[in-house]
């Protein structure tokens, strides 16, 4: 990965990892796929390798990302699914023509067509979002407790009580902030 761009925040759930390509939505937003080449990079590390992407592909990817984020946020809050967001997700899902195939180790891989690889990859992401939003997977949608992040993530912890989209970033920032606040209070309280 290029040092010019922020690292990807990869989770175990494709759709919510995809929404994490824009982080700190309520602070100073960090765009993790600012160029078509970075979209290609993200798709590759997510098991959806494509040869190239265009500016149009990037725009469409962001449209899908925002629709998934909007729908997942509503679901995590227990609100009604936004109709427009659901329509975008559905449209991407039906356009994709990816095929699930088994590799030699028995793991599922995605076969994307050469002619529409990016559209196929976005279809896989949309289908994953549909599975999550429809409650077909064991877990629950939640929102990051960081006031500047509030990313939607899929909580598969045993207790379903995870608070952070990513412990290595949001969780550590919050813990560090609490620690520093307590350090500042400590000497003042002793005086």
Q: Name the 3-class secondary structure at 102.
A: strand
Radius of gyration over alpha carbons of the chain, in Å? 18
Residue 101, phi-psi category: left (phi > 0), alpha (psi -120 to 50), beta (remainder): beta
pLDDT of residue 179: 67
Q: Name the 3-class secondary structure at 165.
A: coil
pLDDT of residue 2: 45
Q: What is the pLDDT along the chain (191 residues), one digit of tens a residue?
A: 444 655 777 778 899 999 989 988 888 888 999 999 999 999 999 999 999 999 999 999 999 999 999 999 999 999 999 999 999 999 999 998 899 899 899 988 898 988 889 999 999 999 999 999 999 988 889 888 888 888 888 888 887 777 777 766 676 666 666 666 677 776 655 45
pLDDT of residue 177: 66
pLDDT of residue 83: 98
Closest CA to 25 of 66, 58, 56, 59: 66
Burial 96-123 (b: 16+ CB within 10 A, else e): bebeeeeeeeeeebbebeeebbbbbbbb
CA distance linking residue 38 with residue 44, whole number of Å: 10
**Helical H runs in 47-135?**
55-77, 83-95, 117-133
pLDDT of residue 77: 95
102 to 13, 105, 116, 119: CA distances (angstroms): 19, 8, 21, 21
pLDDT of residue 38: 95
pLDDT of residue 188: 55
CA distance linking residue 175 with residue 69, whole number of Å: 25
159 to 77, 131, 155, 169: CA distances (angstroms): 18, 21, 9, 21
Task: Give the predicted TM-score (pTM) of the model.
Answer: 0.83
Long-range pairs, 99-106, Cβ under 8 A, ≥24: none
pLDDT of residue 1: 44
């Amino acid at each position: 990965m290029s040092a010019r761009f922020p690292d990807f925040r990869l989770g175990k759930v494709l759709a919510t990892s995809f929404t994490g390509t824009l982080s700190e939505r309520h602070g100073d937003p960090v765009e993790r796929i600012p160029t078509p080449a970075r979209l290609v990079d993200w798709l590759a590390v997510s098991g959806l390798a494509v040869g190239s992407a265009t500016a149009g592909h990037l725009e469409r990817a962001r449209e899908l990302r925002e629709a998934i984020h909007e729908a997942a946020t509503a679901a995590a809050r227990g609100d009604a699914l936004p109709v427009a967001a659901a329509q975008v997700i559905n449209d991407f899902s039906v356009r994709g023509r990816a095929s699930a195939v088994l590799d030699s180790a028995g793991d599922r891989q995605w076969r994307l067509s050469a002619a529409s690889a990016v559209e196929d990859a976005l279809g896989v992401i949309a289908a994953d979002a549909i599975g999550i939003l429809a409650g077909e997977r064991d877990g629950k949608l939640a929102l990051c407790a960081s006031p500047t992040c509030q990313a939607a993530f899929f909580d598969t912890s045993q207790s379903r009580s995870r608070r952070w989209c990513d412990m290595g970033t949001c969780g550590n920032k919050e813990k560090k902030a609490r620690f520093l606040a307590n350090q500042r209070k400590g000497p003042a309280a002793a005086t």
